[in-house]
Amino acid sequence: MNPLRVYNTYTRKKEDFKPIDGKRVKMFVCGPTVYDLSHLGHARTYIAYDIIARWLRYRGYDLFYLMNITDVDDKIIERAKKRREDPLKMAREFERLFFRDIRSLNIDTIDLYAHASEHIPEIIDQIRRMIEKGFAYVTQTGVYFDVSKFEDYGKLSHQKPEELRRHRIEPDPNKRNLQDFSLWKKRKGEEPAWDSPWGKGRPGWHIEDTAMAEKYLGQQYDIHGGGADLIFPHHEAEIAQMESISGKKPMTKYWVHTGFLKVKGKKMAKSLGNFITIQDALKDYDVETLRLFFSSTHYHSPINFHEKGLEQAKRTLESLYATLDNVRRGARSLKELKDDERALKRKIKENRRRFGEAMDDDFNTPLALTYIYDLDKDSNKLLDKQGNINDRLADDLIATFKELGGIFGILQKERVEEELPEDLKALIEERERARERKDWRTADEIRNWLEEFGVILEDTSQGVRWKKKRQF
Ligand code: AMP
């Protein structure tokens, strides 16, 4: 088997995937800040990691997947103030809606969700160690990480110190260096706050992830992921935190980042107001359509959001389901495979292999999908030619579509024995009567008319059969 290869933001290369501990894989993905509804940009990232997780497990890795939930944060406090609500209570409410989104998106790979507010002792303990080792300092406003003490600062985002100076983050006269970021913020006004050796306060944004990661995954683990917006400063700061206390042991072996979902060239974001919530999108499009739409672009590339793309995904999916139906309907228990069937059997094997190679090449979902489409095309060709298909081959095909589709979360709906509407059934009967009378003109008219409704008739030695027309 070829090795799995993963693009690592840190080395800027595709690398062979070699987990620290054999077949065990530990993955951390940055989850939501729960101060608003989740939008399709979030869905893009969450679905991408869901597919990555599914593929790792499919490939036999024993994956532990951890996601954090930021429930204490400036944005939450600001929003709660505007809504005159308690920040933690408001965060719980948006978290409930986040879980509803996750369920609606059929994301089922995450083993553990960890909340910032429930890891305050671990956070305090990490900050204490950073101070002891001389990487952090206390001011009147809180505790800061001193980036000048961590010479590797900038190594993930590939920025030199002079480039880093261009980002002015967290202006505060108490800081030693402009780039220093806060680990602990002393309480201002009516904010949620916890006791600490540095006074009542709350954690800075970056520290929760390393505190949770250290607790559940250790100081070194395999994959850390999130959207590309998190490379700097968030993930850069995380490296500084974890590696300063671990004695520079590389925190994460593979840094993985998803490309943005963009709208007219701009990132879909809460702050830009150009977002479509996940629930709104699901009113118009089935979850499998959304998942196919996202899978049709490589996780690393940005996606330009367009209704047309969703419409295309919808049609493709309908067409694949039509093929599944037609394969089922055309299945006949025949002993021998015919030549074309033997060729299709070989194709199944070949395409499964190539699908695997595509997924192993940095989770290349758009390429992997082409092997499903190729099988779809050949199945239809065979059905068109023969009018039926050997039942063992049909079972093999259906199982393959479902198994490979399952990696993306498509083609998972149970078979619903489709019934034609009564009026169409009556028309088919009328056509049969016309044929018995040898009234070929009426029979043809009815056939053409039904075709416009997407129903194709086939006259076989066992009577008339219908199948759905493919969409493209
Ligand atoms: P947030 O709640 O905004 O902190 O985001 C939660 C996760 O979704 C992070 O991993 C972000 O990088 C990711 N994310 C947010 N907006 C987008 C977007 N437009 N496209 C892709 N990923 C996004």
DSSP conformational letter for 277: B
Please identify, by atom number, the ligand 1 atom nearest to the C-alpha of residue 228.
Answer: 12
**Smallest CA separation from ligand 1 atom 11, residue:** 227
d(CA 351, CA 371) in angstroms, rounded, equals 5
The CB of 229 under 6 Å from ligand 1? The reply is yes
Query: What count of other Cβ atoms lies within 10 Å of the Cβ of residue 128?
Result: 16
- 32 CB within 6 A, ligand 1: yes
CA distance 123 to 413: 43
Ligand 1 center to 97 CA (angstroms)? 16
CA-wise closest residue to 144 among 114, 104, 176: 176
Q: Is 38 in the pocket of ligand 1 (CB under 6 A)?
A: no
What's the CA-to-centroid distance between 318 and ligand 1, angstroms? Answer: 29
Residue whose CA is at the smallest distance from ligand 1 atom 8: 42
Q: 235: Cβ below 6 Å to ligand 1? A: no
Task: State the distance from the centre of ligand 1 to the C-alpha of 42, rounded, in angstroms.
Answer: 5
Q: Is 80 exposed, middle or buried (0-12, 13-18, 19+ CB in 10 A)?
A: buried
Relative to the CA of 259, which ligand 1 atom is closest? 21
- Prior bond of 366 cis (ω within 30°): no
Measured from the CB, is residue 330 less than 6 Å from ligand 1? no
Name the 3-class secondary structure at 248.
coil
CA distance 175 to 184: 13
C-alpha 52: how far from its chain's center? 7
Torsion of CA 7, 12, 13, 17, to 10 degrees: -40
Ligand 1 within 6 A of CB of 224? no
Q: What stretch of H or E contains 17?
A: none
Query: In whole angstroms, what is the distance from residue 443 CA to residue 420 CA?
Result: 18
- From first to last of its 472 residues, the chain has per-residue pLDDT tens of 789 999 999 999 999 999 999 999 999 999 999 999 999 999 999 999 999 999 999 999 999 999 999 999 999 999 999 999 999 999 999 999 999 999 999 999 999 999 999 999 999 999 999 999 999 999 999 999 999 999 999 999 999 877 777 776 677 888 999 899 999 999 998 899 999 999 999 999 999 999 999 999 999 999 999 999 999 999 999 999 999 999 999 999 999 999 999 998 999 998 888 999 999 999 999 999 999 999 999 999 999 999 999 999 999 999 999 999 999 989 999 889 999 999 999 999 999 999 999 999 999 999 999 999 999 999 999 999 999 999 999 999 999 999 999 999 999 997 555 667 788 888 888 998 999 899 999 999 999 988 888 888 877 665 777 877 655 3
Task: Report phi then psi at 403, rounded to 5.
Answer: -65, -50
Of 337, 434, 355, 357, the C-alpha closest to 400 is: 355
Dist. CA 55 → ligand 1 center (Å): 22
225 lines ligand 1 (CB under 6 A): no
Kindly state if the Cβ of 257 falls inside 6 Å of ligand 1.
no
Alpha carbon 339 to chain centroid, angstroms:
40
- Cβ count near 148 (within 10 Å): 12
Of the candidates 152, 123, 153, 148, the residue with the CA atom closest to the CA atom of residue 136: 148
Q: What is the pTM of this model?
A: 0.90
Question: Cα(292)–Cα(394) distance, rounded to whole angstroms?
Answer: 23
Q: Are 180 and 146 contacting, i.e. CB atoms less than 8 angstroms apart?
A: yes
Atom of ligand 1 nearest to the CA of 45: 22
Burial of residue 212 (CB within 10 Å: 0-12, 13-18, 19+) is: buried
